[in-house]
Amino acid sequence: MLWLLLFLLFIALAFGVLGAVVKAAVFIVLTVITTVFLLIVVVWLLVRWQMGKMQRDIDKRLQPPPVDDRY
């Protein structure tokens, strides 16, 4: 596998498109890293929101029922 990558790198170097290949590779890698990072942030925020929602629901259930003293 490494030999294939080196071979493709030397072909790109021979045809003078090595700069474009490197730029494309950097763009792809940064796009993947950014996408993964954003997905992690979104999932983290959704989990926090759901945990807060569950905590509010539990707190509401644990409160004693209101007493009506009018009678």
**Predicted confidence pLDDT, tens digits, the chain (71 residues):** 667 777 777 777 777 777 787 788 888 989 999 999 999 999 999 999 999 999 999 998 888 888 877 76
Residue 37 resides in a domain: yes
Residue 6 resides in a domain: no
- Tokens 């979104």 belong to residue: 42
Residue 4 resides in a domain: no
Q: Can you give the pLDDT at residue 69?
A: 77
Residue 70 resides in a domain: no
The secondary structure of residue 16, as a DSSP letter, is T
Residue 69 resides in a domain: no
Domains of the chain: total? 1
Residue 52 resides in a domain: yes
Residue 5 resides in a domain: no
| Phi and psi torsions of 52, nearest 5° | -65, -40
Please tell me the number of Cα atoms within 13 Å of 6 on its side-chain side. 3
Residue 67 resides in a domain: no
- Please tell me the chain's helix, strand, coil percentages from 3-state DSSP, rounded to the nearest 5: 85, 0, 15
pTM beyond cutoff 0.85? no
The secondary structure of residue 71, as a DSSP letter, is -
- Tokens 């950014």 belong to residue: 34
What residue numbers bound the domain in which 31 lies? 12-59
Q: Can you give the pLDDT at residue 70?
A: 76
